[in-house]
Every structure is written in structure tokens, then in C-alpha cells.
Amino acid sequence: MRGKISSTRWAALWVTVAALGATVLFGPASSAQQPVDPGPPLDAREGFLRAKLAHMTLEEKVGQLFFTFVKGRHADDTSGAADNQANYGVDTPGEVVQKYHLGGVTYYDAPRAQNVANPTQLNALSNSLQEAALESGAGIPLSLTIDQETGIVARMRAPATDFPGMMALGATRSEELTDKVWTIVGQELDAVGVNWDFAPVLDTNTNPANPVIGLRSLGEDPELVADLGETAVEALQETGVMGTVKHFPGHGDTDVDSHFGLPLVDYDRDTLMNVHVNPFKRAIDAGTDAVMTAHMVVEAIDPDLPSTLSHALLTGILREELGFDGLIVTDALEMGALAPFWSQREIAVMALEAGADVLLLPSDLDEAIDGVMDAVESGRIKEKRINQSVLRILGAKYDRGLFRDPFADPAEVDQVVGTPEHLAVADQVARTATTLIRNDASLLPADVSQDVAVVGPAASADTENRLRELGVNVTRVPVTTTPTAAERSAAVAAAGNADLALVTTTNARGNAGQRQLVAEVAGTATPTVAAAISLPYDAGFVPEADAVLTTYGSRPVSMRALADVLVGSAAPGGRLPVTVHGPDGTVAFPYGHGLEY
């Protein structure tokens, strides 16, 4: 799907640099010298990469290690000049790329980077940034990266296809749907010029209180995570977009959000390897391009350093024990798990010493780069070590065709992104994932002739509108995340005047106000359905409801599917990918549970 912009120029450069390879490596031929056996001939790839490396300055090499945000929606956009000046001392995204010889740019939405407005704009941004990269320094194309995990973490939204998240896929148990989803993700990213996705997530979510993974995980069973994760990364990479499995060695049993603090896990080595590392091993064996590190301390391996800075984890386990020779990319170096404890200079150097290749999003790019440059000049880090990572980065760009043609064809955007066929797959996943957990007295499916009250936190207009399309008379009463007495009273009044009440919850497990709302609505004479529209763990905390559904997220596509399943226009097809416990800690609904109509 790459366009043909500047391909003639690149073809000429390709031949020229490949031809330089032998000269750079072995020196020019001399009739005065005796013939010397140069050893096995280099293949074209190796010759090209080493020739490219030989013509790079140390600054250009170090620049390739760093990926950061730029603010603006085109390489020449000055709308973010104030922020770019504050962070980088230049005005435009293109100038940031050129100043630092960046290896990559990470796209993000407002307010921080304001990169994503719509697919057409993103395509133009990608192409303009590539032009900026090619016109400066070593002329190396960019890795253009994004967090497109699906579900709650997706930087590119509608009109791109907006899928339910990974736990919804886990509920489907379907390798076929997983393959379709991640093929579409890759095709749409490729069309807008994104060549590297920081996804899929392969954390095994064994801790219901996990504040940072949760719905981003496929579930609690390492084999399910490994099976569908392997399918996801293979499908994504088949489209030409690089994949990244994260967050190694597994962020699923933490109770601290590493954006704000440093998690620590104290399970033994067997649990680490069999439960949390196993999906990463499977993805590595399947050929994942990259692995992203987690900022967390694994006491059984390295009680002193988080994974991102731990030689024992990144080199000892990931490189040596698991045999991974692809790209190791850090999670954002600015995060609260690292930044309070070490300077950005030291974090960057320690990550390289641990074995990382790509240093992602330092809070102070100048400090981080200066730290690496000083470490090389002082001898703390050998330039040979820098070369190893740069060759991996250049090799990944070579393998994805970026040296031949890094541009995305603008004509592909409307033909690929958010097509009716792609949207239909999103609908299919959402409906199949929706799980019927309890259905007392066969309350569901509901009759479309009933009056339905939709109440609760995030009670969605998408659910209301879809029910109306299906012929249902609806009253909707949204309330805040912690419903007040007045909000609960309004919800109860609406339910009392309806034939059926649908109460949405987003954290009944941890929010007494939401539990009270469900109890008060269920205390009316109106049959009550509780819908956990975030984590399914809520299902164990709403015993008063007559029926319970879970959607694994509140994206619009899932809220429409909730309406379809409520009235039987679609059948609930999901099975719990996690165990649901009650308030007393006993199992309320086991892993794999799911009812049918």
C-alpha cells in the first residue's frame, strides 16, 4: 500500500549505497596488494546497512535511538511552536526531526501532540515528516509509531475503524476474528503512513485490581493470551506494519500504575515464566518485530532495578534465554515509575546498558541524548554497543521497505480506512464478545415493545439510539461516576416508569455509589439488567440485578452491541476470559462462564 512518491530517487540511492558496502567494509582494491580472502560475501541487506552505518556520525547514530512526540499536524505546522520551542528549541515537527536526527516519531492526540485529526491529515503528516527526515543528516526514513491497541487505547479513532479492545477479543475465543481485527488495524495504519504499532498487549491480567492493564489484556489465562496474541502479531505484521508485544516481562499482576509509580511483583520465577512470560515467548517464536519493556521490579530476577533498566531481564532473559534478536523498545522514559528515581540522562544510559535499542519519550530529550553522548565519549558505553542497536533499527526499516519507499499513497486512505467491510467486523466482534453472565427467569432477551430506562455512569447515547432504531421506547438518565443521592433518585424514578431497567456500571467493584444505584433501581418493581461496560469483575458485585451482561468496554461499537443483545437482535456469544469473584473473595462466575439465549 505504499505510494510511489520519490521512489525513483530511492531506487538510485539503494543501488549506490549497496555498491558502497564492499568498499566500506573491505577497502578499495589495490593492484599493489596481494589478494586477501575477504571471507563469505555479504548479502545485499548486510552490505547496505553497514555502508549506511559507516557514513553516520555519532550524533546521527544516537539520534536513531530516540523516538519522541512532536506537536503539530504537518511537518511545517507552526501551531504547536510554543510547545516545540519549550521542549526542543525549534518551531515545527519537521525541524524537531532534523535537529535530533530522530529514529522515530510517536503519534498522539490532543492536547499533548495534536497529531491526529483525521486519516487524510495523518497521511499528509506522515509523508511530510518522511520528507523532512530524508532531506537532513544521514537521510534515514522515520519509524512512525502509534499506540493502536484497540479499545480504550487507540490514538486513531473514527472515521477509522474503532474496535472493541483486547479483552473483548479474549471473550470471543476466536482466532479468526483476531486475525481479521489485526489485519484491518495494520491495513488502516499503513494507509496513513504509520509503519510501527506499539501493540498488541500480551500482559496476562491475573490481578483484578490492576489499575493500568485490565481491559487492555486478552484475559487471565496465559494460553489464551498466547494463542490470540500470536495470531494478532502475525496478522498485523503481514500487512507490512511492525508489531510490538508489550509489556515485557508482563504487567498483569501489578497493583500500581507505572505511569505514576513503580510496581513491584514478588511471585516466584516459575510464575513469571509460565504465566507472564509465556505469551511473549510464543510471540517471539512467531517472529514479533519488537518487544516493549515494562517499568516494574520483578523481585525474583532483579530486586533492585525495574525491567527497563535491568540487564538480567532484558539481556539475560529476553535476549539470551528467549533468544530474541529483534528490537527492544522501552516504555516511555518519562513515566512516574522511573523519573523520580533517576535523571533522564541516567535512565537513557542504563536502558542501553540493560539491552534496550529504542529509547522512547524521555521527558527531556536534550538531557537524554547528552547523557548517551557523554557515556560514549567517556567510554562507559562503547560505540560498538550503539552500533548494535542502530543496525537493528536500520534493519527493521530495511525489512519494512522504508529505504525503498517510505511514503503512503494518499489515494489509499478513502479506499482502506473505515470501510463498511471493516466496520462490519468491528460490529461482529462487539456482538460476539458481549457475555450474558446471569439471566434469572429468562428475563432476556427483552421484548422490543417494552419501555426501557437506560441509567447509570456512561449510560450511552449509542445504546439509546440503537434501541430506538430497533423500535424500543427509551428513557436515558446518565449519572456521574459516583452517583449522588439526587442522581440515584432520578434514575430510580425513570426505572419505576419503565418495563425494564438497564443499569450501566463502570466500577461497581470499587465504587459504593454504583453498587447502591444498582440496588436501588433493582428495589423497584421493574426488572433490572446490570451491564458492566468496563471490567467484567463488576458482575460479582451486583447481586440484586435480575440479569447481568458485560461488554468489555464502552466504545460506541460495544454500546450498540449491548442494545442488540438486550433485545435479541444479536445473541450473546462471549465467555468470561477472567474469573469473577464476589465481595467475600469466593468465585461468583468462573473463567469460561457465559450463557446463551
| DSSP per position, 550-596 | E-SS--HHHHHHHHHHHTTSS------SS-EE-TTSSEEE-TT--B-
Radius of gyration of the chain (CA): 26
Residue with cell 550524533: 59
Of 46, 124, 83, 131, residue with least CA distance to 406: 131
Cell of 333: 522514559
Q: Please check whether residue 104 is in contact with residue 152, taking contact to mean a CB–CB distance below 8 angstroms.
A: no
- The angle subtended at Cα 534 by Cα 532 and Cα 537, nearest 5°, is 65
What are the grid coordinates assigned to 4, written together? 510511489
Yes or no: say if 406 and 103 are a contact pair by the CB < 8 Å rule: no
Under a CB-based contact definition with an 8 Å cutoff, are residues 94 and 76 in contact? yes
In eight-state DSSP terms, residue 321 is I
The CA-based angle 196-202-203, given to 5 degrees, is 130
DSSP character at residue 42: P
Cα(561)–Cα(432) distance, integer angstroms: 9
The type of residue at 566 is L
**Rounded CA separation 501/492 (Å):** 9
Burial 140-155 (b: 16+ CB within 10 A, else e): bbbbbbbbbbbbbebb
Between strands 244-248 and 290-293, the pairing is parallel
Residues labelled as active-site residues:
259, 331
Listed in sequence order, the residues at least 6 apart from 408 whose beta carbon sits closer than 8 Å to its beta carbon are 1, 2, 3, 123, 126, 127, 190, 191, 192, 193
Residue 362 near residue 68, CB atoms below 8 Å: yes
Do the bridges between strand 547-550 and strand 435-439 make them parallel or antiparallel, or are there none, so unpaired? antiparallel
**Cα 54 from Cα 64, distance rounded (Å):** 14
CB under 8 Å to 16, separation ≥6 — which residues? none
CA distance 510 to 176: 35
Burial of residue 427, with CB atoms counted within 10 A of its CB: 0-12 exposed, 13-18 middle, 19 or more buried: middle
